[in-house]
C-alpha cells in the first residue's frame, strides 16, 4: 500500500457531514488529500473543503466507482449503507474499505448488532424483532410499557424511533416506521438506568487505545451534552472500557468505534448501541485528549500507530449546539463564551439551520466536572443558530 504520509495519498469518506469534516481536518494535518462521496442533494460540510467531491446514491455502486478509484483507502462517516454495497464497491474498485465490510456486516443494523454482541457474551438491552401484530402487545406485557420501537436501519437523533405507551400506539408506530412495508422493526425495553455512558475505541494492526468513559446527557433521543470522565465509580468506568474493547474485538474492527451503555440502578452495564465511526459522544476529545477520536480515526484506518487518549485536564464538557430556528446558518454567540480560557467553538459549516439540527458544539475544559458542566451550560444557554 502507498505510504499514507505521502502527499498524494487520498483518504475517501463515504458520507460528507460534520463527522467526516472533523476527520478530514486531521487528514489534512498529515498532508493527505481527501475525497468525499455524498448521497445528499444539498452541499454538505466536507464538500467545501476539497475539490475531490462526488455525489450519487449509497445503493448504487456504479455511481461510487469514480470516487472509489480516486482513493487509496475509503472509510465511513455513517452506517446508512448496506454491507453488500461495501463488499461490491471494494471488489470492483480494488480500494480497501475500513472498517472492513466483514466488520460492518456484523453490526449493520440494530438486530444484527444485538445478536453479534450477545453471541460475544456482552449484555444488551432486551429486544424483539416484530414479526406480527401480536408481538407488539406481547413485548409490552412481558417487558413493560412504555417501550421503544426502532427502525432496524437508518435511525439517528430521534429519527426512526418511537416511544409507545399502549397497543394502539404500538400499532400506529409500527406502520409509521415502515413495518407494514417490510422494514425490520425492533421492540426495545426501557431500561431503569442512572447514567448513559459511552466509550470510544480505536483499533488496527498496531494495537488498540481506549478513551475515557464519558456520560451522555440525552433529551428527546438527542445527545445535548457530554461529561468526561463520567461521574461514576472508577470500577464502572473500567468495566465499560473493557466491554467496549471486547465489542470491538468481536467484530475484528479496524478504525474508530463508539459504544453506548446503560448503567442500571442495580449496577449492571448493558450495551445499547454501537457506531463504526467517530461519534458525537467523542467530540470532547478534540481539545480534551492528547489525540482526538478524529485523529485516531485517520491513524487507525491508515495503519498508523495510535495516539494517546489521556485527558489534557481533569474535566471536559461538550455542549451540542442545536439549530434554534429555520434560516441560513449563523452562530450568534456572546463574546464572553468565546473569550473563556479552555473554551472552544466548532461550527460544522452547514448552510441551513433547522430547529433541533446539530449545527455546532462547544467544548469547555476545567478542574471540577460539575462546576465545568454548569458553567458550560450558562455560557451556551443564549447561543442562537
Using an 8 Å Cβ cutoff, are 288 and 312 in contact?
yes
Is the confidence at residue 152, as pLDDT, over 90? no
First-to-final CA distance of the chain: 44
Specify the CATH superfamily of domain 126-189. ATP-grasp fold, A domain (3.30.1490.20)
pLDDT single digits (tens) 252-267:
999 999 999 999 999 9
Tell me the chain's radius of gyration from C-alpha atoms.
Answer: 20
Global pTM reads 0.94
pLDDT single digits (tens) 339-356:
999 999 999 999 999 999
pLDDT single digits (tens) 79-116:
999 999 999 999 999 999 999 999 999 999 999 999 99
CATH number for the region 193-380 comes to: 3.30.470.20
- How far is 28 from 14, CA to CA, in rounded Å? 17
DSSP 8-state symbol, 384: B
Is the confidence at residue 335, as pLDDT, over 90? yes
**Every domain range in the chain assigned CATH 3.30.470.20:** 193-380
DSSP 8-state symbol, 246: H
**Every domain range in the chain assigned CATH 3.40.50.20:** 10-97
- 155 pLDDT band, cuts 50/70/90, is low
Query: What integer pLDDT is reported at residue 174 of this predicted model?
Result: 92
**Every domain range in the chain assigned CATH 3.30.1490.20:** 126-189
Domain over 10-97 is classified CATH 3.30.450.40: no
pLDDT single digits (tens) 204-250:
999 999 999 999 999 988 999 999 999 999 999 999 999 999 999 99
Amino acid at each position: 500500500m502507498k505510504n499514507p504520509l505521502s502527499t498524494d495519498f487520498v483518504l475517501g469518506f463515504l458520507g460528507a457531514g460534520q463527522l467526516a469534516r472533523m476527520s478530514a481536518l486531521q487528514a489534512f494535518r498529515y498532508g493527505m488529500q481527501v475525497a468525499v462521496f455524498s448521497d445528499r442533494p444539498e452541499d454538505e460540510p466536507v464538500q467545501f473543503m476539497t475539490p475531490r467531491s462526488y455525489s450519487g446514491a449509497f445503493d448504487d455502486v456504479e455511481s461510487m466507482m469514480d470516487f472509489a478509484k480516486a482513493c487509496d483507502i475509503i472509510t465511513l462517516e455513517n452506517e446508512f449503507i448496506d454491507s453488500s454495497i461495501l463488499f461490491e464497491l471494494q471488489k470492483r474498485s480494488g480500494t480497501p474499505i475500513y472498517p472492513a465490510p466483514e466488520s460492518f456486516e456484523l453490526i449493520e443494523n440494530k438486530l444484527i448488532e444485538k445478536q453479534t454482541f450477545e453471541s460475544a457474551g456482552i449484555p444488551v438491552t432486551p429486544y424483539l424483532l416484530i414479526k406480527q401484530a401480536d408481538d407488539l402487545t406481547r413485548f409490552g406485557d412481558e417487558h413493560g410499557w412504555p417501550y421503544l420501537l426502532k427502525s432496524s436501519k437508518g435511525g439517528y437523533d430521534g429519527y426512526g424511533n418511537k416511544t409507545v405507551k399502549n397497543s394502539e400506539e404500538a400499532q400506529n408506530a409500527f406502520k409509521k416506521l415502515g413495518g407494514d412495508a417490510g422494514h425490520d422493526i425492533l421492540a426495545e425495553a426501557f431500561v431503569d438506568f442512572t447514567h448513559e455512558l459511552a466509550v470510544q475505541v480505536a483499533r488496527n494492526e498496531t494495537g488498540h487505545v481506549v478513551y475515557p468513559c464519558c456520560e451522555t446527557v440525552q433529551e428527546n433521543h438527542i445527545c445535548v451534552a457530554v461529561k468526561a470522565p463520567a461521574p461514576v465509580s472508577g470500577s464502572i468506568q473500567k468495566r465499560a472500557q473493557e466491554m467496549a474493547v471486547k465489542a470491538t474485538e468481536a467484530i475484528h474492527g479496524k478504525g474508530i468505534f463508539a459504544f453506548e451503555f446503560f448503567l442500571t440502578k442495580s449496577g449492571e452495564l448493558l450495551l445499547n448501541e454501537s457506531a463504526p465511526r467517530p461519534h458525537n459522544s467523542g467530540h470532547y476529545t478534540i481539545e480534551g485528549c492528547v489525540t482526538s477520536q478524529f485523529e485516531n480515526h485517520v491513524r487507525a484506518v491508515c495503519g498508523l500507530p495510535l495516539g494517546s487518549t489521556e485527558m489534557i485536564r481533569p474535566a471536559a464538557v461538550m455542549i451540542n449546539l442545536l439549530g434554534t430556528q429555520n434560516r441560513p446558518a449563523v452562530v450568534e454567540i456572546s463574546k464572553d463564551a468565546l473569550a473563556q480560557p479552555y473554551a472552544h467553538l466548532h461550527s460544522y459549516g452547514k448552510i441551513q439551520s433547522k430547529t433541533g439540527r446539530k449545527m455546532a458544539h462547544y467544548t469547555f475544559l476545567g478542574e471540577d466536572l460539575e462546576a465545568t458542566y454548569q458553567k458550560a451550560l450558562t455560557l451556551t444557554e443564549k447561543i442562537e443558530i
